[in-house]
Amino acid sequence: MTGLQTLHDKKPATGGEQLSRQERRCLQLYLNGLKDAEIARRLGLSIHTVRMHLTRARQRLRAQSRVEAAAKALRSGMIHASFLLLLNLSFSVGTILDEISPVI
């Protein structure tokens, strides 16, 4: 194993067919920073159902956490990072680099 691979990466999910449409939608919204209640409201589901979809997605992707599940789904193309998410991450990294550059 190399880099950030874990034991759970032995059989990574390879296709979107491994997650249901609702599992992908819940994981996508989770990746975009929404809380369970916000995901439920947006999709017209109960919080319990959202949590069930996120748990099943995590299990199907053989992930230890929601974050790992989102990363695996993102890497495999099952879900996609939104432009706003990428912009937000870019801004955060830039801000951190600005803060530590005088120290370096």
| Rounded percentage of the chain residues whose pLDDT exceeds 70 | 62
| Amino acid, single-letter form, for residue 27 | L
d(CA 80, CA 3): 22
Per-residue pLDDT, 29: 92
Contact 30, 39 (CB under 8 A): yes
Domain 19-100 has CATH 1.10.10.10: yes
Domain ranges, ordered by start, for the chain = 19-100
d(CA 50, CA 52): 5
Mean pLDDT of the chain: 77
d(CA 43, CA 29): 10
Q: pLDDT tens, 26-67?
A: 999 998 889 999 999 999 999 999 999 999 999 999 999 999
Instruction: Report pTM.
Output: 0.65
Q: At what angle do helices 36-43 and 47-60 cross, to 10 degrees?
A: 110
Neighbours of 85 (CB within 10 A): 14
